[in-house]
Structure 1
Amino acid sequence: MIAQSMKVAALLLGLFMVAGCGVDGEPIRPTLNAGVGVSSNGVHLGGRVGANKGPVSVTVGF
């Protein structure tokens, strides 16, 4: 499950990087947030990837 989430996150990040370079017009600003939590239940990974263009922001979390 975590490996599949990481693949999806890497794919989205790659797409945002291509769109962010400005090839197809004004560039967008990609964002990335990642975190690791440790508790008595174990280690938890989480993160978000997103993009900002003007007043519009799109974010996907896992």
Structure 2
Amino acid sequence: MRVIAALTTLAFLAACGVDGAPLRPSANVGIGIGSNGVSLGGKASVGKGPVTVSVGL
């Protein structure tokens, strides 16, 4: 039941009629080698004007 509610909410938000072109996301991936071994990192972000939303690993 939760899955159906989540999909319905997602479909409603996708069809709400937002004006303008879709925003293009950007992504950065990094690999580091140090004394502690190999480390991986990443970041995905999307922004418009002064507002940016990002998620990092």
Q: TM-score, normalised by structure 1?
A: 0.54
Larger radius of gyration: 2
Unaligned runs of 5+ in 2: 1-17
User: How many matched pairs?
Assistant: 40
Q: Identity rate of aligned residues, in percent?
A: 51
Unaligned runs of 5+ in 1: 1-23
TM-superposed CA distance for 1:50, in Å, is 0.8
Aligned to 2:38: 43
TM-superposed CA distance for 1:54, in Å, is 2.5
Runs of 4+ in structure 1 displaced over 6 angstroms? none
Q: Secondary structure at 1:29's aligned position in 2? A: coil
User: Is residue 31 from structure 1 mapped to residue 10 from structure 2 by the alignment?
Assistant: no
In structure 1, C-alpha distance between the alignment counterparts of 2:37 and 2:44, rounded to whole Å: 24
Question: Of Structure 1 and Structure 2, which has the larger fraction of its residues in helix?
Answer: 1
